Amino acid sequence: MLVVKVVSPLSSRESFTVLGEDDVPVAPVERYLKYLTDIERSPNTIKAYAHDLKDWFTFLGGRGLDWQSVSLEDIGAFVVWLRLPTALRQGGIAVLPSVEHHCGESTVNRKLSALAAFYLHAVRDGIDVGELLTTWQIGGSRGGWKPFLHHISKHMPSPRRTVSLKAPKKLPRVLTPGEVQTLLDACDRLRDRFLLALLYDAGMRIGEALGLRHSDIAAAERQVTVCRRDNDNRARAKSLTARIVPVSAELIRLYADYLHAEYGDLDSDYVFVNLWGRPHGHPLTYGAVYDLVRRLRRRTAIDFDPHWLRHTAATRMLRDGIGLEVVAKLLGHANVTVTAATYGHLNVEDARKAMEQAGWFIGKAQVKL
């Protein structure tokens, strides 16, 4: 099976599909991926779902199973299959316990979540799939997750995924102030410096930055508006709703320097454009940014990713005492739970600093140790 990119001739919207051994799209997968495209999920998200479902249908094909008639035991076998090295997935070869797993716990859990969403969509589409991947519980009145159309199906069983692996929580990588300064100083061009500074100062996603227009930057008010729109470079803002992010005066000055020294009289709405290569004046692409990242990695020996600057900004806000709800709004998270789960981390020094500020170690002991 093969995952291929497709582009709608009507909207030029990019999506993905999965081709079977006969080079024809796998119908149930195609139906689900089209649904994700219609609700405007990002191309990267659709691509990830396509690869996850390709693995599932490859597994089913190798065992002669019908996607509508599998059991929970088959899901367990799929987990084992995912963990095998690719060359050993055909079976017939014993695998020693010391052989490293091909898919880690987090990857396996992501694929299972994709399957759960795929089957839930099929059920809502009226397709009989039995009780695949789910147990069925009558929805109660005490909170918790409720399915779509819950208001017209309160007494129907609600599906919940039951197969998962225990995965260690990965804390986001945070750069030190010294590392951020080193990366900024290693930039040869003001455009590149401004791009990294924007990610660090505003906590923006790289797709949001690449889609910025000059009209989104209010220099006098020192604020940047982030909104979702179709971009020529396929950059994409993840948040459905627009948000306004306050930024520093230093960032606005860097923006002005960039416009004066490098941007000049170029006629483009986009803030980040190709100024030295071809096609000249076109909006900067993800590929160009990762070329920059690779150059900076070689120069600085800092093995970073653009998203780390967003992680660093969020962590800095929290450490400086900005409330979780405010940080969630600035980052464009749908709710505070996402922010708390991703960025609400403290290391030992954070905890010590908070306790010292509260006077925990100074003169407040009620018990002599």
SS (H, E, C) 309-330: HHHHHHHHHHHCCCCHHHHHHH
* Count of beta carbons in the 10 Å neighbourhood of residue 105: 15
The dihedral sign for the CA sequence 223, 317, 331, 256: positive
Active-site position among 193, 234, 310, 316:
310
Which residues have C-beta within 8 Å of that of residue 225, sequence separation ≥ 6? 216, 217, 218, 242, 243, 244, 245
- Exposure of 1 by Cβ count < 10 A (0-12 exposed, 13-18 middle, 19+ buried)? middle
Active-site position among 333, 345, 353, 368:
333
Decide if 229 is catalytic.
no
d(CA 80, CA 30): 26
Active-site position among 31, 102, 238, 295:
238
Q: What share of the chain is helix, strand, coil (3-state, %, to 5)?
A: 45, 10, 45
Q: What would you report as the CA-atom Rg of the chain, rounded to the nearest whole angstrom? A: 24
Decide if 343 is catalytic.
yes
247, amino acid identity = V
293 DSSP 8-state letter:
H
Decide if 110 is catalytic.
no
Active-site position among 205, 234, 236, 311:
205
Active-site position among 146, 154, 307, 353:
307
Decide if 310 is catalytic.
yes
Catalytic residues: 205, 238, 307, 310, 333, 343
